[in-house]
Chains A and B, each alone.
Chain A
Amino acid sequence: MNFATMWSFSFLPRFWRYLLAFLIIAVVTVILFALREVLDTALIALLYLIPLGIITAYWGLGPGLTSALITFLTFNYFFIQPYYTLTVHRPADIVILVVFLIVAIVISQLVGRAQAGLAAATAREREATQLYELSTAFAGLPNDNEIAQILAKQVHAVADGEYVELNVTGTQSFSVRFPEMDAQTRPPELIVPIAAARGVLGEIRLWRTAPAISSRERRLFQTFASQGALALERAWLAQAESRARVLEESDRLKTAILSSVSHELRTPLSTIKAAASSLRGREVGWDSPARVELIAAIDDEADHLNMLVGNLLDMSRIESGALKPKREWNILPEILGSVLGRMKHLSVEHKLEIDVPESLPLVPVDYVQIEQVFTNLVSNSLKYAPADTVVCIGAQLEDEWIHVQVSNQGPQVPPEDLERIFDKFYRITAADRVTGTGLGLSICKGIIEAHGGRIWAENLPDGLAFNFTLPLIWNGVTPPQLPMDTESE
């Protein structure tokens, strides 16, 4: 803000404008009075016109015209003979006086009108700038709350108000306050509805005691409100659209799930049905070795079915965000031990190599979930890697993380698919070669991410490796070091 605008009329209260005008007239009169004897009367009249122009330019038509009348009187009183009276003797003086009065009024009017026009133009330009800033700020904002925040902040800044509250009543209602503090108890000075084609979306409530809110400001805030309404409607439309897209996507996925799942579920069911019905009938003799075989098939396939259903439940839990790890300080080798204990009968065709150092700190994980991750990764390796190859499980400390790797000598994955293998229902090979819902790896991903870790796959020179990390810090706490008692009984 430069000096001129600071002093210009719009920034000074009316009383001060008049007072300053009178002061200037007084000062000029004193100076001219001192020079009265050397200056010609006509020249004095001319010199008087200078402060008049300045006064009108800076403080407007009112002070300008008033000053013109006052100078007319002081000029007559102090500078036209006989001095100190308002009477005029010489005809030439009458002409000077009349001309002075006319010129003074004309100047005041011209300058004043130009000044008022300029002020209006400046105000319009400022409003346009403020509106422009507002719509730029709104551009691309997808979030209704952010839009409301910006609108409240802008109204507060432009109005120089004490407090602004914005109530939005859309699909969900909320209030935004600026500055953030407790709600005002007295009623606001201005309420502007945020109206859109669909109806009223909310209102802007402005508290500002002084100066009173002008009709120009009222109009401006109405424009603000309709800009806000447009932005809100746009945000809500965009949200609805993306919701629709998500629904469509999940619908497609559900169809894929249904077809994959019904296929996968039917396979073990067929086996169970065939085995059970043949045992029930008289086709298989009591001592036939086929009997043992059939019973084992029923048992195995029932387990398989149970695992499939478990996977589906896990996946739906991950999808709905209900998978909350029940974290405790655990020992990684203990978890791994119980996984390997249960997979003993599955891993006869492969050699398992474990490289998990004893010195690893305790890890803050959900025992059951991490057990599941190991189970899925190891069984995936056993499924794809050819018989008589090695499956390695290694773990090491990396700063504040544990890095686990499960690697096998199975087929590599094309680099572009390394991330996609963690997607639901993704399979590298044709579905008929291996069984499963195609959910195992995405469940691992869901669990590891719920623990705050990362999971990824990489090709090794002779196979494929799954890696995951787990944070050691839990709620800002490092793994506990336990004081061991060493005394013996």
Chain B
Amino acid sequence: MSNAPHILVIDDEQQILRAIRTILTEKQFKVTTASRGEEGLTLAAANEPDLIILDLGLPDMDGVEVCTRLREWTQIPIIILSVRDSERDKVAALDQGADDYLTKPFGIEELLARVRVALRHSARTQGTQSKVVKAGTLTIDLAWHIVKRGEQEVKLTGTEYKLLAYLAANHGRVLTHQSILTNVWGAADADHTEYLRVYMRQLRKKLEADPERPQYILTEPGVGYRFITDE
């Protein structure tokens, strides 16, 4: 296939590169690999891939910096790979414009799901935004500001709706605390994660069947939230 999506994988661990390349090629993606940050940046500029998978622990430069330098000129979706317990780096990379993350070791279906979401999202931002988001029994009409659970309309406060609309418009992607707070409350409140906690809880109570074990609004521990749809 000539128009198969092109994925650039930047990671210094050869075994990981080998595994990812094998699986993605099997899934009909075109794969290029780089084992150093500079090499990755050069390949990204030369090949203009459709997606970049970037490991945060590179030998020659900080993964967060690679992310920053990519974002200076391109909006190619970036999925970062990190090891457990590096929430700080993960969040830093996401706030620098990375689209999603995976924690090593990860299952391959997780990787494929993230890749699909990222590619779809970049296609959507280039084309027109879908106006209605569906998740289970939930229907969120972003044009008419109507939220329905089954046939029943759900009454939301202004802030609750803004929050849900932001989550739904970015469904499938992880959204950091900071990005949600900045987009819903404004940059001045970017540190008030407690707003987020409380409003998320209220939203879950109104939308989820069991708010303690949410299906739609998932918590990404230490990072942020993710809205899951049927797609």
Interface residues of A (CB under 8 A from B): 299, 302, 306, 310, 313-314, 317, 326, 328-331, 333-334, 336-338, 340-341, 344, 354, 362, 366-368, 371, 480, 482, 484-489
Contacts and interface: CB of A to CB of B under 8 A. Distances in A.
B159 interface: yes
A334 B157 contact: no
Contact of A336 (B145, B212, B221): B212
Interface of B: 84-85, 87-88, 105, 107, 145, 155-159, 161, 193-195, 197-198, 200-202, 211-214, 219, 221-222
5 contacts: A299-B107, A317-B85, A326-B87, A334-B201, A340-B213
Contacts of A310: 84-85
Contacts of B159: 485
Contacts of B145: 489
Given A306-B105, A326-B87, A336-B212, A487 B194 contact: no
B213 A337 contact: yes
A30 to B, nearest CB: 91
Contact of A341 (B197, B198, B201, B213): B213
Nearest to A330: B197
B110 to A, nearest CB: 12
Contacts of B157: 484-489
Contacts of B158: 485, 487, 489
A172 to B, nearest CB: 32
A331 B198 contact: yes
A329 B105 contact: no
Contacts of B161: 489
Contact of B155 (A313, A333, A336, A489): A489
B213 to A, nearest CB: 5
Contacts of A354: 212
Nearest to A314: B85
Nearest to A317: B85
Contacts of A366: 222
B105 to A, nearest CB: 6
A304 B154 CA distance: 42
Nearest to A303: B105
A367 B155 contact: no
Given A326-B222, A338-B219, A368-B87, A482 B195 contact: yes
A328 B85 contact: no
Given A313-B85, A489-B145, A489-B157, A334 B197 contact: yes
A322 to B, nearest CB: 10
Contacts of B222: 326, 366-368
Given A340-B212, A487-B157, 9 more contacts: A299-B107, A333-B212, A334-B201, A337-B213, A338-B221, A362-B194, A368-B222, A482-B194, A484-B157
Nearest to B215: A341
Contacts of B197: 328-331, 334, 362
Most chain-A Cβ atoms within 10 A of its Cβ — which of B194, B200, B214? B194
Given A340-B213, A488-B156, A334 B219 contact: yes
B136 to A, nearest CB: 16
